[in-house]
Amino acid sequence: MKTLILAAETTPISYLPVLLQLIIGAGIVIVIMIASAMLGPKRNTSDKLINFESGIPSIGNARQPMGIKYFLTAILFVLFDVEIIFFYPYAVNFKNFLAAGNGVTVFLEVILFVAFFLCGFIYIVKKGALDWEE
């Protein structure tokens, strides 16, 4: 019995629809920007030329130092949030792992994964990264 293998030919002409979409998309953006610049009103008043900061009047220098604890907490949140994302495929496929007979192996691998992050968390706590008293 012969099997029929269909190979898709990729020639430069097969990329023509993509090229046309890019050209049309860029053309629409350029036309809209030019039309907006030519047809839009041009009334530059002093109120329009000042910086807008969400309606709150600016007070003082914006370059004043800020505590690193805010940024450190945000980075740690992202780090441990990404860890949780890696648990999702494991939870979804756990029955398949059990059915394949390697559920114990996969479970031990997940325990090792959690242990690495737990070591990182203990290190963070020991270094005082989560202490807000200064």
Sign of CA dihedral 42, 45, 50, 54: negative
Residue 76 lies in a domain: yes
Q: What angle do CA 98, 104, 109 make, to 5 degrees?
A: 115
Decide: 113 and 86 in contact? Cβ < 8 Å: yes
pLDDT averaged per 10 residues, the chain (length 134): 61 89 97 94 80 70 76 83 83 80 82 88 85 71
Q: Considering the domain boundaries, does residue 54 fall inside one? A: no
- Looking at the domain assignment, is residue 103 inside a domain? yes
In a domain, 63, yes or no: no
Task: State how far the Cα of 76 lies from the Cα of 68, in Å rounded to an integer.
Answer: 12
The pLDDT score that the predictor gives to residue 115 is 92
Q: Is 114 within 8 Å of 106 (Cβ atoms)? A: no
55 occurs within a structural domain: no
How far is residue 82's CA from residue 109's CA, in Å, rounded to a whole number? 17
78 found inside a domain: yes
Q: How confident is the model at residue 12, as a pLDDT?
A: 82
**Structural domain boundaries, residue 101:** 68-127
Q: At what angle do helices 68-92 and 103-127 cross, to 10 degrees?
A: 170
Query: pTM for the whole thing?
Result: 0.45
Structure tokens at 71: 């940024």
What is residue 1's predicted lDDT score, i.e. its pLDDT?
Answer: 55
Residue 62 lies in a domain: no
